[in-house]
């Protein structure tokens, strides 16, 4: 069983359309769709935007469906000149850029209680995803936070603080829950907006194309398993 989580309809609906023997279940307002794709059993969910929605959805998916691994897919903004709009990032690790107890002497991004900044991804799963990407991509750290980052200065601060190459709003929460539950996880994002501060305009122009490419990567990856 492979779990696939996206924040928005456009990030998951194309995957759901390819599933056979589908059945749906609604838990806490989230629709979980089970089915088969190729030889793989799949459960998908549209969690909603932001880290809390993502964490609730991930924990529910783990407890209810017990997936062998979870992939968080969708779109993101680039922080790097090495990957542009409609390129992809396969995460090596996830950080929460808005977690900040530095006034207490902690490094930025530290998750208190477990003393983790970077949540690692599963390398075997990441390599499988990379094998099924036809467009330019890079590996690197993805930063998540509960804000849409369009300001060029803020993008630079996130990049410099965490050595991150992309930012979005859910991946680190998914990885956090998987880390606590010992479930292999990977995050792959297709870039919808650039690093030059023109985030809002670029995002609206390219988000559908980016989500479509992200879905195609997922479909190819699952079919190859």
Check: CB of residue 126 under 8 Å from CB of residue 90: yes
Closest CA to 11 of 203, 174, 214, 192: 214
Check: CB of residue 141 under 8 Å from CB of residue 164: yes
Alpha helices in the chain (DSSP H): 9-18, 51-65, 123-130, 152-162, 171-181, 199-223
Structure tokens belonging to residue 171: 């991946």
Active site residues: 11, 193
DSSP for 89-135, please give it.
EEEEEEEETT---GGGTPPTT-BTTTTBS-EEPPHHHHHHHHTT--S
Q: Distances from the Cα of 100 to the Cαs of 96, 106, 173, in angstroms?
A: 9, 8, 15
Q: How far apart are CA 127 and CA 12, in angstroms?
A: 21
* Angle, CA of 160, 166 and 168, to the nearest 5°: 115
């Amino acid at each position: 069983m492979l779990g696939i989580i996206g924040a928005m309809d456009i990030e998951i609906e194309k995957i759901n359309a390819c599933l056979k023997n589908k059945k749906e279940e609604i838990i806490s307002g989230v629709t979980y769709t089970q089915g088969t794709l190729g030889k793989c059993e799949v459960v998908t969910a549209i969690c909603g935007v932001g880290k809390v929605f993502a964490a609730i959805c991930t924990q529910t998916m783990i407890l209810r469906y017990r997936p062998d691994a979870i992939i968080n897919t969708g779109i993101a903004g680039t922080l790097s000149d090495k990957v542009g709009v409609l390129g992809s990032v396969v995460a090596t690790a996830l950080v929460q850029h808005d977690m900040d107890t530095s006034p207490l002497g902690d490094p930025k991004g530290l998750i208190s209680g477990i003393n983790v900044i970077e949540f690692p991804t599963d390398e075997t799963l990441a390599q499988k995803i990379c094998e099924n990407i036809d467009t330019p991509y890079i590996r690197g750290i993805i930063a998540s936070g509960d804000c849409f980052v369009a300001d060029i200065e803020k993008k630079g601060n996130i990049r410099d603080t965490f050595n991150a190459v992309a930012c979005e709003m859910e991946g680190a929460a998914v990885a956090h829950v998987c880390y606590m539950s010992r479930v292999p996880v990977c995050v792959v994002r297709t870039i919808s907006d650039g690093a030059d501060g023109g985030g809002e305009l670029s995002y609206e122009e390219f988000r559908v194309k980016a989500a479509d490419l992200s879905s195609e990567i997922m479909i190819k990856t699952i079919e190859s398993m």
